[in-house]
Amino acid sequence: MIKSIIGGAAAAALLSGPAGAAVPAPRPQSFAWVVSPTDTGCRVELELVGRSGGITPVSLISDGQLVSLRFFKDDLPARAFLPIRIDKARFSNLMLRGDGAAGELVLSEETESAMRKGGTLGVAWLSEEPLTASLAGSEQGLSDLRVCGAQTAGRHRERAAAEQAARDRAETEGRARALNEAQLAAVQAQAAAADAQRRQVEETAERQRRLEAAQAERTYAEARQRAYDDERRRAYQAQYDEDEDPRWTPPPRPVWPPPRYYNPYR
């Protein structure tokens, strides 16, 4: 996996000793260890210089616990052990691929200790030619980087914990509010069901009352009709009885003898 990243010519130029070097190595460039805070730690910008004078920027980053060399290179594997050289001594470290072409070389304690005491950092696989940078002031610079990274990462963790606590509190309040709303909705639904049942009972009772009232009215009307009919019958019967009273019976018509006619042939 390392062979797929390290170019053959670059590796040969870096790994060869003074006798195999056709061109003398460039003088290491010194740089100021300017530590800058990031969201989750701190970083120091480095400039690796090639034999041709080309500059490749990299960064040393730290969260107070680890120190990493961050860079950009296409076609990186997901992870690999890649070497760097400190004063020509080889140190292999775990490389992890990030987003896009970003890579992060996690420096071991041995590598970091060597960087604190070393004078030149060399990387052969990052470009087409070997790259170097001066490590002048690295002991104080790496200490400052770790201290800054620990402070910044601590603040970041506190901020993240506070944000997480706020999210948890909001979620808890949201769940409690949702539970209260659900309970209120259940109570309202029960009240609505009870009210609907009460209205149904009242409507049934009202229909029954109306039916009974209508039945009573019909019964009363029928009773009045019967009473009226009985009164009419009684009145008619009384009138009939009065007509049959002998006192009111007219005298009989006289019975006249049949007429006699003269019959001359008799």
203 found inside a domain = no
Higher pLDDT, 192 or 244: 192
- Highest mean pLDDT, choosing among 125-139, 226-240, 246-260: 125-139
- Total domains in the fold of the chain: 1
pLDDT, tens digit (0-9, with 9 covering 90-100), for 14-35: 333 333 333 434 444 445 689 9
pLDDT, tens digit (0-9, with 9 covering 90-100), for 136-176: 999 999 999 999 999 999 999 899 999 999 999 999 999 99
213 found inside a domain = no
* pLDDT recorded at residue 203: 92
* pLDDT recorded at residue 82: 95
* pLDDT recorded at residue 176: 94
256 found inside a domain = no
Judging by DSSP bridges, how do beta strands 120-123 and 79-86 pair with one another? antiparallel
Q: How confident is the model at residue 262 (pLDDT cuts 50, 70, 90)?
A: low
Instruction: Of 87, 80, 41, give the one whose Cα is nearest residue 60.
Output: 41
108 found inside a domain = yes
pLDDT, tens digit (0-9, with 9 covering 90-100), for 59-101: 999 999 999 999 999 999 999 999 999 999 999 999 999 998 9
DSSP 91-151: EEEEEEE-STTEEEEEE-HHHHHHHHH-SEEEESSSSSS-EEEE-TTHHHHHHHHHHHHHH
The rounded distance, in Å, linking the Cα atoms of 193 and 2 is: 74
* pLDDT recorded at residue 259: 66
DSSP 211-261: HHHHHHHHHHHHHHHHHHHHHHHHHHHHHHHHHH-GGGSPPPPP-PPPP--
The rounded distance, in Å, linking the Cα atoms of 243 and 236 is: 10
The rounded distance, in Å, linking the Cα atoms of 99 and 101 is: 6
Q: What is the CATH number of the domain that holds 131?
A: 2.60.40
Is the confidence at residue 52, as pLDDT, over 80? yes
* pLDDT recorded at residue 7: 38
DSSP 168-215: HHHHHHHHHHHHHHHHHHHHHHHHHHHHHHHHHHHHHHHHHHHHHHHH
241 found inside a domain = no
Query: Domain range spanning residue 94?
Result: 8-156
* pLDDT recorded at residue 248: 56
* pLDDT recorded at residue 28: 43
36 found inside a domain = yes
Is the confidence at residue 222, as pLDDT, over 50? yes
**Mean pLDDT in residue range 115-128:** 93
Whole-number Cα distances in Å, 199 to 186, 192, 208, 209: 20, 10, 14, 15
179 found inside a domain = no
- Tell me the Cα Rg of the chain: 60
* pLDDT recorded at residue 47: 93
149 found inside a domain = yes
